[in-house]
Structure 1
């Protein structure tokens, strides 16, 4: 039996393309699951803050944020958000930028590391992204994040303490340092088997093709050994 293919994903839960990329990867994995010798994978999410200087309670909507952050006129920003919404819909996601509460995401990343220590990182990643992009929940305040942790079955008090104490801040910073070492400047960014870098929300078939190719190489190496 070959070792699983490692997929390390640098993302920010406030990145719309990261959620789309996550869905596309899942679709690619679903396609390969039907293969006679389906690739086995191990997925790990890593922290990346797109806008670390954002306040926890941002005064304005998503268009206001992007206007200030990117210096774009409102009409252009709204057109861009419409395009992202359409692409997300194609991936099965119903984005609600009209409800979205822009915020600082460092505590959300700390929570992801807390969930990882409990073996629930994937569930937490999904819950945070859905809460942010679809439900309009606040994902920057400790109380709100502890509520979301409880919703996936984690102990709320333990999650609250982890966030209050900053227990996992060092883990977040380590992820960010690794991203810098890799030269990652934008997300989502996928490092597959520690050797292939895949940037952006690639289509499902792109992920499926890479995984099939790598898995076939693994099988050939096992035969040769």
Structure 2
């Protein structure tokens, strides 16, 4: 079974979904899991601006609603063992971080690189657009320092990210995190582990 998951490091739901998917896939050895890049804001600034909580507030009807939404997201993260510091994380352009995940995939460490980036951004509030931060996180995720520096300082894996984003359009993916099972219809990856486990069985897919 091939499971493609479209993600962006900036999305707290992607961190939650990643943990839920891991629970759903526990003990499975018949799944080829592929992480696919999909930028939430391709035109995002490489310079950090407002916090994630402040960005969320822009889409709420008032301060109380914004605070409740932040608490909801953080609570769901805590239930999955993830601390989402939305008052520390500051959205930036995630393109280079996506390229780093593709470097990880080339060496069989996409999951480890993505996990380190998600934790660095959402929990530690690190600037994942900063070259020195990407170098640090890539090495900590087990990648070769020379290879990491080459990617961070160059344009390697640019086409891989663009190809994933074209693939998302062709597959009908509208948001992240979304998963596509064996080329089927996109589904939300933020469902409960139980719902994901049902989705990822041949019987449930008809």
TM-score w.r.t. the length of structure 1 is: 0.84
In the comparison of the two structures, how many residue pairs are matched? 206
Q: 1:72 to 1:128 in 2, by over 3 A?
A: farther
Q: Give me the CA root mean square deviation.
A: 2.1
Gaps of 5+ in 1: 218-225
Which one has a larger percent helix, Structure 1 or Structure 2?
A: 1
Please state if 1:106 is matched with 2:127: no
Question: For 1:212 and 1:200, how far apart are their aligned partners in 2?
Answer: 15
Cα drift, residue 71 of structure 1: 7.0
Please state if 1:8 is matched with 2:14: no
SS in 2 for 1:184: coil
SS in 2 for 1:129: helix
SS in 1 for 2:86: coil
Gaps of 5+ in 2: none
Match of 2:123 in 1: 134
Please state if 1:156 is matched with 2:145: yes
TM-score w.r.t. the length of structure 2 is: 0.91
Q: 1:170-213 CA deviation, whole Å, 9 max, x = no partner?
A: 11000000101112111111011122422240100112122333
Matches within 5 A, 1:28-107: 28-30=24-26, 33=27, 40-68=30-58, 70=59, 73-107=62-96
Q: 1:196 to 1:214 in 2, by over 3 A?
A: farther
8 Å Cα contact 2:17/2:190 also seen in 1 = yes
SS in 2 for 1:59: coil
Q: 1:144 to 1:186 in 2, by over 3 A?
A: same
